[in-house]
Amino acid sequence: MAVVTGAASGIGQAIAERLAANRARVWVLDIDAGAAQRTAESIAHAGGKATALQCDVAQPESVTQVFTSITSAGPLDILVNSAGIAHIGTIETTKMQDFERIFKVNVQGTYLCMQAAITTMLGQSGGVIVNMASMAAIMGFSSRFAYSMSKGAVRAMTFSVAKDFLDKNIRCNCISPARVHTPFVDGYLKKNYPGREAEMMAELSAAQPIGRMARPDEVAGLAVYLCSDLAGFLTGADLPFDGGVLNLRG
C-alpha cells in the first residue's frame, strides 16, 4: 500500500499513476478533494487501485485523521511526500506570511506525514519513504529564498530519518529535480509573461544543459525505482534529477 501526497496534479499525480501501474494500491492525498478524486478515477479506469482522500498536510489534525483511516485498511509500505508549493522572491521581498506558508506546507507537511508513516512502519516489517527535495536545496537560484529554505530542510530531514531508522528496515531517500514542466510552470508563465509564454518556456528549458525541462512521468520513474526492492541498498541519498545542471552547466 502506497501513500502519495500532492497526488492530484503534476509530479505527485504521475507518481501515483506509476505506482498503481506497478500493482500498488495507492492512496491519493491532496488538499483539492475533487482533483484527487479525478486522479483516483483515472487510475481505476486504467486498471489500477486507488482511493482519494482530502488532506491538508500542513495541519496536524488532518494528517492524523487521514493516516488513521489509511492504516486501518492495511499495512503502509510506501510514503511519497510530493505535496509542496512554490514561491518567487528574495529575502528582501519575502513577507513573513509567505515564509510561514512555505514552511508549513513544504517542511511541516513533510515532517507530519513522515512521522505518521514511521509510527506505522515501526510496527510492521519496515517501509520506504521518498521525499521531493529540489536542486534549489543545494544550489543558488535567483529569487527562490523561501522555497530553497524549505527544500533544504526536506533534504536534511531525509538524511536524519534514514540514519535514525537504519536498523528498522525503513529506507528514506529524496529526489532533487531541476525544472519540471508541471501545471505550475504553465500558470506562472501565463500570469507573469502574457503573450510571451513560448519565448519564456524556451528560455527556462535552455537553463538545463540537456535543453529541456523534465517531465513528471520521468520523475515518477525514479520515485518508483526508489520505492522498489531494486533500490534495497539505497538509503540516505539525495538523487539529483537535473538534466546536467549540477555538473554540466557553464
Distance set, CA 93 to CA 96, 97, 105 (Å) = 10, 11, 20
Question: With respect to CATH, is domain 2-178+214-241 assigned 3.40.50.720?
Answer: yes
pLDDT tens for the 250 residues of the chain, in order: 999 999 999 999 999 999 999 999 999 999 999 999 999 999 999 999 999 999 999 999 999 999 999 999 999 999 999 999 999 999 999 999 999 999 999 999 999 999 999 999 999 989 999 999 999 999 999 999 999 999 999 999 999 999 999 999 999 999 999 999 998 889 888 888 999 999 999 999 998 999 999 999 999 999 999 999 999 999 999 999 999 999 998 6
> For position 184, what pLDDT does the model report?
83
- The catalytic residue positions are 147
Indicate the pTM of the whole model.
0.96
In one-letter notation, the amino acid at residue 248 is L
Tracing cell 514561491 back to the chain, one arrives at 87
Please report the pLDDT score of residue 64 as a whole number.
98
Residue 237 vs residues 161, 163, 173, 176, 216: alpha-carbon distances, Å: 11, 11, 5, 10, 20
Cα 206 to Cα 19, 22, 212, 238: the distances in Å are 30, 33, 6, 24
Residues 128, 240: Cα–Cα separation, whole Å: 19
Q: Are 4 and 80 in contact (CB under 8 A)?
A: yes
- Structure confidence at residue 20 (pLDDT): 98
Residue with grid cell 502574457, as numbered in its chain: 194
Q: Delimit the domains of the chain by residue range.
A: 2-178+214-241
Residue 249 confidence (pLDDT): 80
Distance, in Å, from the CA atom of 62 to the CA atom of 154, rounded to the nearest integer, reads 20
Residue 220's pLDDT is 98
Of residues 101, 103, 104, 166, the one with CA closest to residue 129: 166
**Hey, CA dihedral for 82, 31, 3, 159, is it positive or negative?**
positive
Look at the chain and count its residues: 250
